[in-house]
Amino acid sequence: MGELVVLRHGQTEWSRTGQHTGTTDLPLLDEGEEQARSLRPAMTAREFVEVRVSPLQRARRTAELAGLAATDVDRDLVEIDYGGYEGRTTAEISEELGREWSIWRDGTVGAEKPGESLADVGVRVDRVLDRVRERLADGDVALVAHGHVLRVLTARWLELEPQAGALFALPAGRYGVLGHEHGRPVLTGWALG
Among this protein's residues, is 9 annotated catalytic? yes
Report if residue 96 sits inside a domain. Answer: no
The model's pTM is: 0.97
Q: Which domain CATH number covers 149?
A: 3.40.50.1240
Of these residues, 3, 33, 50, 79, which one is catalytic? 79
Is the predicted pLDDT of residue 136 greater than 80, yes or no?
yes
- Whole-number Å distance between alpha carbons of 125 and 164: 14
Q: How much of the chain exceeds pLDDT 70, in percent?
A: 100
List alpha helices for the chain, DSSP H.
13-17, 30-38, 40-44, 57-65, 90-97, 103-106, 118-133, 147-157
Q: How many domains does the chain have?
A: 1
Active site residue 79: yes
Structural domain boundaries enclosing 61: 4-18+28-80+117-192
Whether residue 71 lies inside any domain: the answer is yes
The one catalytic residue among 9, 20, 146, 148: 9
Identify whether 61 is part of a domain. Answer: yes
Positive/negative CA dihedral, 133, 180, 60, 16 = positive
